[in-house]
Structure 1
Amino acid sequence: MSTPEQNRELVLTAFDTLFGKRDYEAAQEFWSEDYRQHSRHIPPGREGLFDLVRALPATLRYDNQLAVAEGDYVMLYGRYSGTGDAAAVVADVVHVENGRLTEHWDVWEDEASRAESASGLPMFGDHFPPDRAG
């Protein structure tokens, strides 16, 4: 049985492998063949996720700000950018079983610009990105 810290590192490595390196062959080792997807943005299964990433521009970038693990669940708070649309700030929740990602949920929101932010504070990090600073 893996520890929460091991699960946290596994999920961070899996996200980097798929979204950062776009190494689909290596990513297969992280995502279960029976992967269950609960996102409104992502087609079902491991191949649905991989096909979505393949269809996105090569400029896609995932930046993680926070990773929290409890038992077999890991929550990542990060930003997806580089798709040509406004960046999205996302909380991804992943279930890990036997060293593989088996299930995923997310909460997805377009990143607010300084003008759109009622609090005047950025949604991700400590400053607004240049394209959202106005």
Structure 2
Amino acid sequence: MPKTIEETNKALVLEAFDALFNKRDYQAAERYWSPKYSQHSAHIAPGRDGLFNLIKSAPSTLRYQHGAIVSEKHLAIVHGRFSGHGRPRSWIAADVVRIADGLRAEHWDVLQDEATNAESQSGLPMFGTEFPA
């Protein structure tokens, strides 16, 4: 049975994040990001090169873990954690991706420092089922 566009886009987003952030396979990552990629993040320089150069300059300990992902037509939103980036706390992110012609064409994000157990008013972690050690 053929995959829906939403299933295809979810897989594309997760494969792209893994190739770039975890494997640092820039050649593979080029297959996922459009050469005309638009970046709306306040933390990243414009275009695909801006993103790739940021990751090239990040510590080798940088890791991305994905959580929930939803997709509708040409948009996908993934909830994830960026750790090992050299800052005191991991970032919890909501990344919104527009996909066009099978490539990541546009990106927006919302980033927040991960709360500790003591800071969490709800007593629940921001990502996963446990607070980070």
2:126 aligned with 1:119? no
Q: Match of 1:72?
A: 74
Q: Match of 1:55?
A: 57
Q: Match of 1:18?
A: 20
**Residue of 83, 86, 92 corresponding to 2:85:** 83
TM-superposed CA distance for 1:83, in Å, is: 1.6
Structure 2: runs of 5+ lacking an equivalent: none
Question: Aligned with 1:78: secondary structure?
Answer: strand
**CA RMSD of superposed structures (Å):** 0.9
Report Cα offsets for 1:34-90 as digits up to 9, x if no partner. 000000111110000000001110000000011111000010100000123110000
TM-superposed CA distance for 1:98, in Å, is: 0.5
Structure 1: runs of 5+ lacking an equivalent: none
Question: Aligned with 2:128: secondary structure?
Answer: coil
Question: Aligned with 2:56: secondary structure?
Answer: helix
- Tell me the TM-score normalised to structure 1 length: 0.94
2:105 aligned with 1:102? yes
Identity of aligned residues (%): 53
Report Cα offsets for 1:65-123 as digits up to 9, x if no partner. 11111000010100000123110000000000010000000010000011111111110
**Residue of 20, 27, 30 corresponding to 2:29:** 27
State the AA in 2 paired with 1:77.
Answer: H
**Residue of 10, 18, 43 corresponding to 2:45:** 43
User: Post-superposition, which runs of at least 4 consecutive aligned residues in structure 1 deviate over 6 A?
Assistant: none
- Tell me the TM-score normalised to structure 2 length: 0.95
Aligned residues: 129
